[in-house]
Structure 1
Amino acid sequence: MDLLVDHLTRARASGAVFARTVTRPPWGLRLGGSMQLAVHAVAQGRGWIWFDDAMQSPMQLAPGDVVLVRGGRDHYIGHEPGATCAEPDDFRARHGADQLAGDPQATIFLCGAYRFSGDIGSGLLNALPQVMPLTPPIGDPLRDVVGLLSRELAAIEPGQNTVLDRLLDVLLVLAIRTSFRQSPMAPRWYRAAANPRLQGALQAMHEKAGYPWSVPELADISGLSRASFARAFGEALGQTPMQYLTEWRMALARDYLRSGEKELAEIADLIGYGSPYAFAAAFRRHHGQPPGAWRQQEIARAGNAETGLDSHPG
């Protein structure tokens, strides 16, 4: 099992294309910080991306460039820094036509977004920088995907939604992989998964979270002595193998509980606890309350967020 794919799958990461825009100056678009992860790519011409924060310098986007922006702050994209920016609906109404597609002076850019679910999705997002500019060289698969997305969006064709979904999946994986490869802040599990001494054990824990793993068994998978394995694991991940396994099981449990699709007995079995009572005791140790109460609290919180109650004090 590929750990990055496992995280993306469990986070239920999904993409939604906003638009392929063909335009000439002046133009500008404001995008709200409520989007969990936005993606911008330029296929032709130039553009700029900037924030209200003066500490973040505007960044120019050239053909083939890709920028991922994590949610939290509004951001802007336009023909020049500080350009007047429209809201998405107004922007689409003004720049939705493709009459300029053959104009060499026009800018063609793509805007999209990704949604993530649960604690595993939040953990993956939090491992990304606030802004992730990527300039893939010619011949890089990431650059090729941007070109394919632009061409696919140029005209409506049968099966287009399926093609776009797959291309967005590829774009996300390539962008995150590139970011983690370049960033010293990449998650420890990502770096450790590339370590041949630890890769097998990590994959085993993710693939069979419900199995009663022991350190000797995991060490055997890794082809190391128990002491060597425990030392290598601790150095790479900053915790013992059993601590890592427990944290992963609890992350899975929280997402299962939040979805409401499984009973406590099912969750206990899936994550390696012999009974609902053993699972409840372990969950209480980690979260200070039993899983049933935690689930009800999360359901209430989600309901409040939907009705806007979370925005009121108290």
Structure 2
Amino acid sequence: MDVLQDHLVRARASGGVFARSTAEPPWGLHLPGTIPLTVHAVVQGRMWLWFDDPSEAIELAPGDVALVRGGQDHFAAHRPGAACVPHEVFQARHADDAPVHGASVFLCGAYTLSGDVGRGLLEALPPVLSLSAAADDPLHAVIALLSAELTAPAPGRQTVLDRLLDVLLVLAIRACFQNGDHAPRWYTAAADPRLGPALGALHADAAHPWTVPELAGISGLSRAAFARIFQLALGRSPMRYLTEWRMTLARDHLRTGDLTLAQIGARTGYASPYAFATAFRRHHGVPPGQWRRGSR
């Protein structure tokens, strides 16, 4: 089990909006903080990104990618501090701009990630993450394919865009976790050969009645050594981690309403609806049915 893949699948990450823009200076774009995750990729020219203070703007060159987490409005422009307008006004102003010398050509997309699993992934990212891809980096190839698909629409375009958006998001998050200080504990632990096998097994089958000795055996460690290393790496005991992961999955199922309480309990390792309701109440202070009504 690839633990990052498990998080991405459960977060149901999807790119709802994506556009290729060409803009001759002066230009500026104002994007709201209500977008959970925005991706910017520069094809030609330069782009500057900032939040409240233009003096802290980040410059993006051709081939660079930036992920911007929701929460704060952010601005993109040909220079820091330029006047910025909402997306609809920007599109109308620059609809006829051609990709001549001096113009900026960039891709802009908006992602949604669902539930607590998606929220956890977003919270692991910095407010803005910029990635400068080397010439042989797969990110370059994905950006080129996205740009080509948006330039010359063809049958099946949305399917192609959806798949490329998935690839772009995974590559960017993976690069963030591998190269930065923002990797969540579970990502680092999954790469540890002493913990990875057990963590992968736990994520592959959260409903299994796991025990510490069984997980330790999967990792080839003694019970005491496994429990100690797990606690140090993830900040909680194996059973506490398992319970929290089960509750995370349960909350996401409760939000979507796709399963009954009995089905949720069975999928998260509880032998009966009563056992599930008792565990959920102990963890959240309210029974699952009440929590579901409140979340809606």
* TM-score range relative to shorter protein: over 0.9
Corresponding residue of 1:203:
200
The alpha carbon displacement at 1:18 in A equals 3.0
Secondary structure, counterpart of 2:122 in structure 1: helix
Q: Select the residue among 217, 233, 241 that pairs with 2:214.
A: 217
Q: 1:262 is matched with which residue? A: 259
CA distance in 1, matches of 2:29, 2:225: 54
Determine the structure 2 residue equivalent to 1:94: 93
The 1-side partners of 2:102 and 2:26 are apart by: 12
Give the secondary structure class of the aligned counterpart of 2:182.
coil
Q: Return the alpha-carbon distance in structure 2 between the equivalents of residues 290 and 272 of structure 1.
A: 17
CA distance in 2, matches of 1:155, 1:30: 26
- TM-score scaled to structure 1, two decimals? 0.92
> What letter corresponds to residue 62 of structure 2 in structure 1?
P
SS in 2 for 1:73: coil
Residue of structure 2 equivalent to 1:308: none
- Do residues 127 (structure 1) and 120 (structure 2) align? no
Match of 1:71 in 2: 70
Give 3-state SS (helix, strand or coil) of 1:66's partner: strand
Q: How far 1:247 moved relative to its partner?
A: 0.5
What is the SS of the residue equivalent to 2:107?
strand
Residue 278 (1) aligns with residue 275 (2):
yes
Q: How far is the alpha carbon of 1:277 from its aligned partner?
A: 0.5
1:138-169: CA deviation from partner (whole Å, max 9, x where unpaired):
10111221121111111111111111111100
1:185 shift after superposition: 2.9
Q: Hey, what does 1:31 align to over in structure 2?
A: 31
- Counterpart of 1:100 in structure 2: which amino acid? A
Amino acid across the alignment from 2:98 = L
CA distance in 2, matches of 1:238, 1:52: 34
Q: Find out whether 1:164 has 2:161 as its counterpart.
A: yes
- The CA deviation at 1:16 is 2.7
1:189 maps to which of 177, 186, 196: 186
Residue ranges of structure 1 left out of the alignment (5+ in a row): 300-314
Q: Secondary structure at the match of 2:253?
A: helix
Rounded to whole Å, the distance in 1 between the matches of 2:18 and 2:90 is 11
Query: Which stretch shifts more, 247-256 or 230-239?
Result: 230-239
- Identical columns (%): 61
Shift of 1:180: 0.9
Q: What corresponds to 1:137 in structure 2?
A: 134
Shift in Å at residue 27 of structure 1? 0.8
Moved over 4 A (4+): none
Q: Which residue of 2 aligns with 1:51?
A: 51
Q: Which amino acid aligns with 2:61?
A: A
2: CA distance, partners of 1:74 / 1:268:
39
User: What's 1:231 paired with?
Assistant: 228
State the match for 1:80 in structure 2: 79
Q: 1:243 aligns with which of 227, 240, 245?
A: 240
**Using the alignment, how far apart are the partners of 1:273 and 1:154 within structure 2?**
51
Across the aligned residues of Structure 1 and Structure 2, the Cα RMSD in angstroms comes to 1.2
The alignment's TM-score, normalised by the length of structure 2, stands at 0.97
Larger mean CA deviation between 16-25 and 118-127 belongs to 16-25
Partner of 1:173: 170
Query: How much does 1:50 deviate?
Result: 1.4
CA deviations on 1:55-75 (whole Å, 9 max, x unpaired) are x70111100111110001111
What is the letter of the counterpart of residue 148 of structure 2? R
Shift of residue 100, structure 1, vs aligned partner: 1.4
- AA of the residue aligned to 1:152: E
How many Å apart are 1:182 and its aligned residue?
2.0
- How far residue 207 of structure 1 moved from its aligned partner, in angstroms, is 0.8
Aligned residues: 296
CA contact (8 A) 2:67 2:129 kept: yes
TM-superposed CA distance for 1:184, in Å, is: 2.0
CA contact (8 A) 2:176 2:182 kept: no
Distance in 2, Cα, partners of 1:139 & 1:81: 29
